Structures are given as C-alpha cells and as structure tokens.
Amino acid sequence: MNLSLCCISNILAEQGHKFRTMTYKSFSSKERSESLEKLSEIIINNFTVSEKIVRHCAANNIQGYRLSSDLTPVIKHPEVMLALEDLPNYNLINKSIEDLSHTIKETGIRVSAHPSEYITLTSDDDVKIKHSLIDLEMHGEIFDRLNLSRSYYNPLNIHIRKEGDAEELSGTFIKNFERLSESVKSRLVLENNDTGNTWTVSNLKKYFYNRHNIPITFDNLHHEMLNHGTSHKDAFFDAFSTWNCAPIFHYSEGKNGTRAHSDMAENLPVHYDKDVLFDVELKNKDYAILDILKRYNEREILTTV
C-alpha cells in the first residue's frame, strides 16, 4: 500500500517542527526591512521543516509527500511581488531548498502539491486569473528548484472550481492554461469535485483528458458525494487510464457522511491491485497513515496464511 502524507506531520509538529506563515496584513504592519527579515526566517523554517518531514516519511514507509502550498507566504501578494532572490539571507534560503532537494532524491519520496483551493483558471475576472497564474508559476519554480521532474510523476493538482456549462468553462480553462509555462503545464492535473454538479471524473476526462491529455486525479470522497451514477470502480479506472505513470489519487473518509474529513480511517483505500499512490487527507495525518499501514499489513498476513 503506497501512501502519501498531506503537508503536515502531526508527529513532528508535536516535537516542535511546525510551519509558519505570514499574512499581508502582518507584512504591511511593520517596517519593510523588519518584515523581510522575518519572512526570510519563515521561508527557511518552512523548507527545513519540509526536509524533516520527507525524512520522517522515508523512515516510516510512507512513499509520498504533498508539499505545503504556503512555503513562501506573501511574496506573490499583488502589493508585495518579490522573488526569493530579493529576500535577506537568500543564500540560506537557497541552502534550505537544496537540502530538501537532496533529501527527496536520497529517499526517493515522490513529491506532489495541491495549489490553493482558491486558484481558478475559469474565472471571468482577468485579475483573478493573473493571481492564479502567478501562484501556479511559484509552485513550478519551487518544483524546478527542487529538481523535481517536469512530468506527472511530480504533479500539481488543482480543481476547476467554477460551475456551469462544461463546454464553455473548459474552453476558458484551456485558454488560460496556455498562458502557463512548461514548468506548470507539464505537471498540472485535475481533480474531481463535488461542490457543484459538473466536475465528476467522467466530465473531467471528456473535456480535459480526451482533448488535451491532462490526467485526472480520483478523489474517493468527492466521488461518493457526486458521481452521476458512476460506480467507484468505473471512476477509479477512468481516472487511472489517464495517467502515463502511477497515479496519485486522494483518499479520505467523511465525518458522519459529510465531506468534512474524519480524524482517522475506518476502511482501507481500494486500489484494485493497481499501482497507485494515495494522498491521505485525514485530520490526524501521519497517525492516520501509520494506522492504515498497520491494518493493511495485518490483513495481508491473514489473507496469505
């Protein structure tokens, strides 16, 4: 069972290895030089924590890691717009990125990311599109700096977000997709969602894979909530067939039948004997993953005796 940790290790956080962030409100409330110093420290901290988490995954038989999408907070805010090179102690920032890169290579942990839920390539508002393009490009830059492959082996996963006419929305999406660099385009994949009625696996496949070869991420919980009558197995294989490498799918369970993620899993991810990496979206994070692995291995022992 190949599992991937989603952003935070609760185990390491309890030991004091925590991510930090900075809002624009905070950045702009102090002297610029003071804010830049603080931001530089935050970014170094975040890459260093990521490196520790990758090591932690490798030590615990967790094959994948979804990087946080807030490693470099506020730098691409419209009123800030800085490059990493503009920050104090850039050499130390670069060193923290190189350390993470080396650890990823050394451990063989497969890395992905899920840029903000608020990113949209389907908005009518070009300002919002531009913010989204900039945010995606920052992810591409970080992936490039980490020497991650420009392929779906290291995917950047987003949602379509907007509801409405699939034909029209997919046209808008592709028009904006073409504005992205190769760094992003070569990694971008799309995930099914349930917040409306449109973006099931089969519609994503029809409008984005069949026409543009963009792979589809299968999320079992979103599928449960919106499936247009398609079974779990059919949706799984529909999405599976869109990848040119082992897919990264999402696994979670809802709290009392809702879309709110539960703390721990009660069941196991179903992979139909296929090679899939499951990004586990459960609140107890690595505790939930270690529990799944333990139960899975116990079941393997029972069924092979």
Binding site for DNA (CB under 7 A): 7-8, 13, 18-26, 29, 42, 77, 116-120, 122-123, 125, 128, 131-132, 161-164, 195-196, 259-261, 283
Q: List, in sequence order, every residue forming a beta bridge with 4; answer none if it has no partner.
A: 64, 279
For residues 114 and 243, which CB has a smaller minimum distance to DNA in the complex?
Answer: 114
Q: How far is the CB of 261 from DNA (least distance, A)?
A: 5
CA 9 to chain centre: 15
Residue whose entry in the numeric block shows the structure tokens 């995954």: 57
Q: How far is the CB of 225 from DNA (least distance, A)?
A: 10
Q: Kind and range of the H or E element at 301?
A: helix 285-304
For residues 23 and 267, which CB has a smaller minimum distance to DNA in the complex?
Answer: 23
The amino acid present at 237, given as its one-letter code, is F
The answer to whether the CB of 57 falls within 8 A of the CB of 64 is yes
For residues 128 and 212, which CB has a smaller minimum distance to DNA in the complex?
Answer: 128
For residues 13 and 270, which CB has a smaller minimum distance to DNA in the complex?
Answer: 13
For residues 89 and 116, which CB has a smaller minimum distance to DNA in the complex?
Answer: 116
How far is the C-alpha of 70 from the C-alpha of 22, rounded, in Å?
Answer: 9
CA 200 to chain centre: 19
Q: Kind and range of the H or E element at 66?
A: strand 64-67
DSSP string, 221-268: HHHHH--TT--HHHHHHHHHTT-SS--EEEE--BGGGSSSBPSS-SS-
Q: Biggest alpha carbon distance in the chain? A: 67
Q: How far is the CB of 299 from DNA (least distance, A)?
A: 27
Q: How far is the CB of 5 from DNA (least distance, A)?
A: 12
Q: How far is the CB of 287 from DNA (least distance, A)?
A: 12
